A = this chain, B = another copy of it.
Amino acid sequence: MSSLRMTSDLRRQLILSAAKRCFARNGFAGTTTKSVAAAAAISEGLLFKHFPSKAALYAEILAEECEADPDLAHLLGQAPSTATLVELIKGMVGHFMHISDGPGEEEAQRLRLMTTSHLDDGEFARLLYAKVSDLIGSVFTASIESAVAAGDASKIGKEPLNLFWFAHHTVLMAALSQLPAVPCLTYGDAADLERQLCQFILRGIGLNEAAITSHLDCELSPNSGQSVTAESA
């Protein structure tokens, strides 16, 4: 067999894409360079022409994965408000609950890499957490304070960012429980699951019932149909 001749950069990207699939599904130790080469439809030798070692290939995937999601860019511009807060949580919940839908399961791969990192040295997770914090932290805390000032939320402890991470933990683990082919958990009334998650989180971060129902019910106005997905892993 002989592959088509192509530029080095394109070949690199194809290898990275194939390797990402393998590593996400089988972990680092569970992935063989042979299987990566097969997934990229090239010889094993060519793989090592592009990457000096299996570890270097893995490291490059993790580094590449640290790029931010374009989806959440539009949230940064939003003015801090209760509505922004609800939209942010809604976007986060929606993103994590539809994580297996995307093409090539890219987001599911990211979730897998994120999870395995916690079992490893945690460095990749640390980088991703830091990036997410940089991107969303200020909007979140400002929106919380704005909601408190507007009377929509009760003042919580002096660390509002912790609340964001609690919310993140909830949806990430919920997504993880739905990751296997046959889900680990079957939530009762799954059709309403996203709404239940949003309510749980919004109550948890201090919003009162009135604010939650009012902002969660009539919502289809600002973005008609378009997904408001947010968040990276």
Residues in chain A within 8 A of chain B (CB atoms): 26-30, 112, 115-122, 125-126, 129, 154, 156-159, 161-163, 165-166, 168-174, 176-177, 179-185, 187-189, 192-193, 196-197, 199-201, 203-206, 209
Contacts and interface: CB of A to CB of B under 8 A. Distances in A.
Contacts of A120: 180
Contacts of A163: 196, 200
Contacts of A116: 119
A126 B182 contact: yes
Given A119-B27, A156-B199, A203-B204, A165 B192 contact: no
A117 B116 CA distance: 11
Contacts of A205: 200, 203
Contacts of A188: 158-159, 161-162
Given A30-B30, A122-B183, A157-B199, 13 more contacts: A27-B119, A118-B184, A121-B182, A122-B182, A122-B184, A129-B184, A159-B189, A162-B188, A165-B177, A169-B170, A169-B173, A203-B203, A203-B204
19 contacts: A27-B29, A27-B30, A27-B119, A29-B29, A30-B30, A112-B119, A122-B180, A122-B181, A125-B177, A129-B185, A158-B188, A159-B192, A163-B200, A168-B173, A169-B170, A169-B174, A170-B173, A203-B203, A204-B204
Contacts of A183: 122
The dominant DSSP class at the A interface is helix
* Complex A-B, nearest 10 residue pairs according to Cβ-Cβ distance, in ascending order: A122-B180, A169-B173, A204-B204, A29-B30, A159-B188, A29-B29, A125-B184, A200-B204, A173-B173, A122-B184
Contacts of A182: 121-122, 126
Nearest to A126: B184
A35 B197 CA distance: 43
Nearest to A165: B185
Contacts of A119: 27, 112, 115-116, 179
